[in-house]
Structure formats: structure tokens, C-alpha cells
Amino acid sequence: MSELKLMKGNEALAEAAIRAGVDGYFGYPITPQTEIIEYLMTERPELRTGMVVLQAESEIAAINMVYGAASTGKKAMTSSSSPGISLKLEGISYLAGAELPAVIVNVVRGGPGLGTIQPSQADYFQSVKGGGHGDYKLYVLAPASVQEMADFVEDAFDIAFKYRAPVLILSDGLIGQMMEKVVLKPQKLRMTNEELIEKNGDWAVTGKKGRERNIITSLDLQSEKMEARVRRLMKKYEQMEKEDLRFEKINCDDAEYLIIAYGSSARISQKAVELGRAKGIKVGLLRPITLFPYPKKALFDLADQVKGILSVELNAGQMVEDVRLSVEFKVPVEHFGRTGGIIHTPEEILEALEQKIIKNGSIRHHKTRESSIL
């Protein structure tokens, strides 16, 4: 039965993992995501579903435990926050290379370095531009509510198994630590080996009795084979762009100005849109739900309608680059964001829109057109 609860984002994600029938969680504590492992340890899911919850000796150990568990075809996941994710990146690249399904959760804090424990979105580049080495991408989901922290666990595993690829849930300290109402889905049983093979195919290392052996590796010393593997990965990413892009448009129909923001920034920007509309400014919000694939086409089309776009992020300007690439300089695009763990207020965002886009918009637009004539 589904249940209504008041939970922190981190707790909701942990409970959803148990209910989704996840087989194993391997983690290491770090603020602001420690509630995930804390909740799993307290709930003792081994008694509910047989799910393994293990505190590893380090982040690196945890991601390699995920690699091992995922190799057997099981649903395996880990979570951490920014510095911990940096440590996991080698393992994440291996997961992508070995074409293994797995879910990684990053509850982002301010950086670089140990940075701060307060909310941030400064891991955008790390999440969507590789992070680890090699030609790979992660399917990246950016929850903006406690409900999505819960719902995205199952969504992430569906995508991970559909493509045999690692999926990242990119949250942050704000969404992880806040409490909201959440409707939890009914408990699902963990799948048996037979069910996993039936649903996902017979690729995992489960003991080779009666069949050819399956090999899980990211190593291919023959260049032609390695290139074929990279091409296969690229095909998957193309398919993700076609079939599994997710975004949300709010108040965009008559919008003259556009704010683009994801996760916690999208929530705060939505309030800025409300304040702007109350002042008579026709502003809309585009919220990418997946950061890869990115809503390039939606942005490109909206650029024909709006006079300018403000990219609102809790960082020094990262996603704004993808916004500019998407709109191909049709309209002015500016960035606004706070860093160091400071959260921008709705009033600040509206002011930035007025100063950077509405006030300067026409002048900059004119300049762009002039230079294009030259």
C-alpha cells in the first residue's frame, strides 16, 4: 500500500530504495547525505527484503563493491556528497566502460576541495561532462522535491537496466535535508536471478552452468574492439536523448523572459517567477529534470519566443554554457548564482533577471546582431 509521510529528502530516497527492491547499498558517510546510510542501517532492510546495506571502509571501496554487485546482475547503489563522488569517479568510469547498471547518488555540497557542508550545484560539470576518464556519459536525474528523491530511485534503476549504464541522481544539501510530504510506493520484492535474466537478459556473471561464460570488463586491448565498444556507448547516449529526455515547463506559454534552473534552484526560481508575474513581468521557468540528456531542442525553440534567458545555478556558472550552446546565441544568456553554500533567495533571482536580462537585454541583443552583420 502507498503511504503518506513527512520525510527528509535523504530519508525518502533511502526508504524508496528498500521499497524498489534494491539488492545492495554500499556507502560511506559524509554530510549532507549521511541520513541515507543512517536510515538504511536503522531500518534494517535485510530483515524486510534481504537487501544488503554495508558501510565500506572508504568511498573507493564502496563504488567497487557496487561494481562487483552490479556484475552479478543485481540492483546495486551507492551515495555520497561531492568530495566523496570525486573519489568514486574512477569506479564510475569503469562501470560505464564495463556497461554495468548501477545508481549513484550525489547530495552536492559546496566546493572545491572539502569546501562546505551547505547546499551547492557546483558538480554540474563533473556530472554531465564525464568527471571520470574516457568517452562516457551518465544519465543524470535532478530531483527538485522530496517526492522526486523517492520516485527517482526506481526511475534510475529502470534506465540503468534499460541501457546497462550507470545513472546519477544529482541532488543537493537543500533537497536532501528538507522535509516535505511524500507518498511512498508499496514494497516490491527483490528479483530472483531467474527473474533478473528474464527481464534484463543473460549478461551477468551468475555462474556459467549450461552456457558460455559471461565476461564483465572495461578492458579491450584490441583497438578495433575498444572502438566498437565506445561506438556502442555513444549509440546508447543517442537513444537516451531520443527516448528518455525529461523536462518541465512552467509559465512558458506567454513568456517574454525565461529562467532555466534545475533541482533546488528550480524550486527557488519558481517563487521568483511568481514574484515576477505579480509585478507584471512575463517570465517562465524551464526545469531540466535530466541534465543528460539535456533539453536542447526545447531551449532552441524557446529562444525564438523569449528576449533573454537567465541560468540560475548554485555555482559560479556551469550549466549556462550548455544553455548558450543550445540556443546558438539567438538571445542573450546570462548566469546568476551564489556559491560557498549560500542559497540565493527568490528576490535576488528576480533582481538578477531584471538587471542582467530585462535592463540589458535589448542593448546586448542589438550588439549581437551588429557583429553578425560584420
Contact set with other proteins (CB under 8 A): 4, 6, 31-32, 116-118, 173-174, 177-181, 264, 267-274, 341, 343, 345-348
**Residue 336 phi/psi, 5° resolution?**
-135, 135
Segments of 230-282 assigned E as strands: 247-250, 257-260
108 versus 273: smaller Cβ distance to other proteins: 273
| β-bridge mates for residue 7, sequence order | 180
Cell of 253: 506559454
Q: Closest CB to other proteins among 345 and 355?
A: 345
DSSP H or E segment with residue 311: strand 308-312
Q: Give residues with Cβ within 8 angstroms of 346, minimum separation 6.
A: 268, 269, 271, 272, 274, 275
Task: Let me know how many helices (H) and strands (E) the chain has, helices first.
Answer: 15, 14
Nearer to other proteins, 248 or 321 (CB): 248
User: Which residue lies nearer to other proteins by CB, 4 or 221?
Assistant: 4
Closer residue to other proteins in complex, CB, 62/312: 312
Q: Answer for the pair 87, 47: CB distance below 8 angstroms, yes or no.
A: no
10/71 with CB nearer other proteins: 10
Shortest approach of other proteins to residue 264 CB, angstroms?
8
Q: How far apart are CA 133 and CA 90, in angstroms?
A: 7
Helix (H) or strand (E) holding 53: strand 52-55
Q: Between residues 267 and 335, which has the closer beta carbon with respect to other proteins?
A: 267
* Gyration radius (Cα) of the chain, Å: 21
With respect to other proteins, which residue has the nearer C-beta, 132 or 176? 176
Nearest approach, Cβ of 25 to other proteins (angstroms)?
23
Is residue 266 within 8 Å of 313, Cβ to Cβ?
Answer: no
Residue 49: all three cell numbers together: 527484503
CB of 268 to other proteins, least distance (A): 4
Minimum gap (Å) between residue 114 Cβ and other proteins: 12
- Kindly tell me which of 33 and 86 has the beta carbon lying closer to other proteins: 33
Q: Are 346 and 268 in contact (CB under 8 A)?
A: yes
In angstroms, give the least distance from the CB of 341 to other proteins.
8
For other proteins, which is the closer residue by CB, 44 or 367?
Answer: 44
How far is residue 258's CA from residue 300's CA, in Å, rounded to a whole number? Answer: 12
Tell the smallest beta-carbon distance from residue 34 to other proteins (Å).
11
Q: Which residues contact 221 (CB under 8 A, 6 or more apart)?
A: none
Closest Cα partner for 80 from 111, 105, 48? Answer: 105
Q: Please state the closest distance from residue 175 (CB atom) to other proteins, in A.
A: 9
d(CA 120, CA 107): 9
**H or E segment at 14?**
helix 9-19
First to last CA, the chain: 65
Minimum gap (Å) between residue 270 Cβ and other proteins: 4
Query: Cα 128–129–135 angle (5° rounding)?
Result: 115
- Rounded to the nearest whole angstrom, what is the least distance from the CB of residue 58 to other proteins in the complex? 24
| Minimum distance of other proteins from residue 4's CB (angstroms) | 7
